[in-house]
Structure 1
């Protein structure tokens, strides 16, 4: 997919007085200032391969200066070294725009080693990165092994290579396409004072399953485009959705409760957490009750508020027609949604159930919004969800709680 034209001059011009590179066994934590412009929740992948490079294509939300990336060894079982990390702009495929590729450092060093279970931020890279841009982060590890950390369902083609070709702007060596992001879980920028971000904590619906690949049509992508056009301080969007993820139990990824700190609260500039999760807990029929799930929501809301941030809740959407649906699961969904709408535990509530449901069978998704499996919306459904979010609620005003009630769905 060809990226939208962006003048190369605006991106990542290194200054001549950059500190001389030096080797170090581990990087100190970087300055946490800035605003998150892209994120993807990490999980345990297959085993890493020593000497392999990855050219990872990600789409920014908010623009700014001082690009930083966060590398993850969160699920590794041994130290992991990166000896070369670059960032540039996509021209097409694995090819970069001439003059855009720049080396990233970590506490001034070209090499960084991450202990098992850790993440690390790069130093800021001088220059400006525009909003809504395909940024390409190229990484190489000489000693990768054991479980790799990454995000398997990217809905975006990235590339792998044999050997270190991170400095090359040509795509010739990047011959192996991949639909996953490896080792990279966040990108931030320095934006104008007061600029903030929202982090969407969710499952495969937030992750974008059934939206069109390569076109950034997940509901958080549509939300990011709305925010860029709106008169609001919230401009950044971190998509922390993970397919199969639950609120209460680990499975695909750690549960929302267990990954809240790493994936959401630790991200720079997050003002509001948007919680849209629960259908996997309900449909799994593991004995989870409505009260169990409600307690999970309460715990997340309390932790978000304790961190000084706002939390917006979203009702669980309809899924009748999905093979795990039954009346008992529907009863739990209805009870959970009643809590979300009326409890007052959240700073605002977005009623995704009402956005997505059919007026003829409220347990079923409106066919025009259905991606085909009766639980995941299509592109049109994703946009309808994003359009239902009250942008003023994301600005985290005090003393206000509201439930967004969109117009009744049309057939």
Structure 2
């Protein structure tokens, strides 16, 4: 059977995945159906109340042409741990329906291989298959078990029928894998996954049920947030370092981190991905457990030709703040980082950057300020990144710069009363 979903956000499911790798994770042997039957019979005690929290995310965008009869194995690193794992599959940019034949989740061993005994079948409304209409998305059902924080999962999705444009994420500095023909979602072996890709096809969020009161942070940004120039396959983007800090902070209830960066993205206009204003609801405000948005956008607007004025960019920030506040979400404004030496830098853009940063720091419009500019700039040349943090292109930080950015965030400031 297959289930067709409406082009609306699916109702919250309490999906669970427990995966075991080298005795780190434990997988229950009972199937979801048998577990549900036991619960209805009153055998096990009802689980304690939990909070759904996004543990991984990647912004949806237009990819290449959709291809049917392929299996995608997407590798993700969790942030928050918990039970109730479910995945969200997106057809946000598709012009035609896409049918996902089967989907599995398991612990990634290495490369495209899944740790033996951990690959588990996902379902959608009780069915193995689901058809998602153009513009739609769907969450999977519960999968029994628990998942540890900061573990690598392999989400395998067989695309049975698809045409037109595929939806997914273009850049994330994480290798994923494609089996070019047939359904190989259930296989733990890497043998069929003969193609590597930097794209993340169709998967745009993973959610767990975390302890009560747990919350999430979403990083809304451009290539710097997406991880450009950081070392691939090592999880050294600044949101990854932030996730590690939050995990190790016993005083913080914010444990989930979703990276919603798109390389080249702008606040005001479309280009590399639709604008931050247009994607705010889908990529950010829809995320489960969201408490705080960290907004690091603006450099691509400023270095564009023609560039908006500082007042226009600030007006865009205010829209994001107002819409987030209306949803009960805090917004931390991150200062626009220096980029002199990049080919599009000019004195006019630098003046706009400084005016925008003065607003972020001093207006009081944001619930908190994250001063990335101060963290990475060269004190001797404030329009430039400090060489120790410069990847070499004078715009994107290297791994050390990414860590300095995350370390500059006052974790206490990420919570506000909303």
TM-score (norm 1): 0.91
Matched, 1:188 2:204: no
Contact 2:68 2:159 in 1 (8 A): yes
The 3 A distance-change label for structure 1 pair 13 and 288 is farther
Q: Write the distance in 1 (CA, Å) between the matches of 2:271 and 2:367.
A: 29
Instruction: Please report how far the alpha carbon of residue 114 of structure 1 lies from its aligned counterpart in structure 2 after TM superposition.
Output: 0.5
* 1:123-158, Cα deviation, whole Å (9 max, x unpaired): 121100000000110001111111000001121111
* 1:320-362, Cα deviation, whole Å (9 max, x unpaired): 0000000000000000000001111111001111111101110
Instruction: Please report how far the alpha carbon of residue 396 of structure 1 lies from its aligned counterpart in structure 2 after TM superposition.
Output: 2.2
In the alignment of these two chains, the number of paired residues is 385
Q: Write the distance in 2 (CA, Å) between the matches of 1:90 and 1:14.
A: 21
**Residue of structure 2 in register with 1:401 after alignment:** none
Among 165, 187, 190, the alignment partner of 2:184 is 165
* 1:182-230, Cα deviation, whole Å (9 max, x unpaired): 0000000000000000000000000000110000000000000000000
Q: Write the distance in 1 (CA, Å) between the matches of 2:173 and 2:29.
A: 26
Runs of 4 or more above 4 Å deviation: 3-6, 10-13
State the secondary structure of the residue aligned to 1:335.
helix
State the secondary structure of the residue aligned to 1:67.
strand
Contact 2:25 2:146 in 1 (8 A): no
**Residue of structure 1 in register with 2:235 after alignment:** 216
Q: Write the distance in 2 (CA, Å) between the matches of 1:117 and 1:286.
A: 31
Q: Write the distance in 2 (CA, Å) between the matches of 1:12 and 1:105.
A: 17
**Residue of structure 1 in register with 2:44 after alignment:** none
* 1:30-72, Cα deviation, whole Å (9 max, x unpaired): xx96100000001000011110110110000010001100000
**Residue of structure 2 in register with 1:14 after alignment:** 31
Deviates more, 1:196-205 or 1:89-98: 89-98
**Residue of structure 1 in register with 2:123 after alignment:** 105
Q: Write the distance in 2 (CA, Å) between the matches of 1:18 and 1:353.
A: 51
Q: Write the distance in 2 (CA, Å) between the matches of 1:223 and 1:6.
A: 27
Instruction: Please report how far the alpha carbon of residue 395 of structure 1 lies from its aligned counterpart in structure 2 after TM superposition.
Output: 2.3
Contact 1:151 1:180 in 2 (8 A): yes
TM-score (norm 2): 0.89
* Equivalent residue runs for 1:241-390 within 5 Å: 241-390=261-410
State the secondary structure of the residue aligned to 1:37.
strand
Q: Write the distance in 1 (CA, Å) between the matches of 2:213 and 2:317.
A: 28
Q: Write the distance in 2 (CA, Å) between the matches of 1:132 and 1:372.
A: 29
Q: Write the distance in 2 (CA, Å) between the matches of 1:293 and 1:55.
A: 38
Among 215, 222, 226, the alignment partner of 2:245 is 226
* 1:92-151, Cα deviation, whole Å (9 max, x unpaired): 111111110111111111111101001111112110000000011000111111100000
Among 205, 208, 232, the alignment partner of 2:224 is 205
**Residue of structure 2 in register with 1:67 after alignment:** 85
Q: CA RMSD in A?
A: 1.7
Deviates more, 1:286-295 or 1:377-386: 286-295
Q: Write the distance in 2 (CA, Å) between the matches of 1:8 and 1:195.
A: 21
5+ residue gaps in structure 1? 21-31, 399-411
Instruction: Please report how far the alpha carbon of residue 15 of structure 1 lies from its aligned counterpart in structure 2 after TM superposition.
Output: 3.7
**Residue of structure 2 in register with 1:127 after alignment:** 145
Q: Write the distance in 2 (CA, Å) between the matches of 1:64 and 1:209.
A: 29
Q: Write the distance in 1 (CA, Å) between the matches of 2:222 and 2:171.
A: 11
Q: Write the distance in 1 (CA, Å) between the matches of 2:51 and 2:98.
A: 25
Q: Write the distance in 2 (CA, Å) between the matches of 1:163 and 1:329.
A: 50
**Residue of structure 2 in register with 1:43 after alignment:** 61
Deviates more, 1:280-289 or 1:264-273: 280-289
* 1:158-198, Cα deviation, whole Å (9 max, x unpaired): 11011101011111111111111000000000000000000
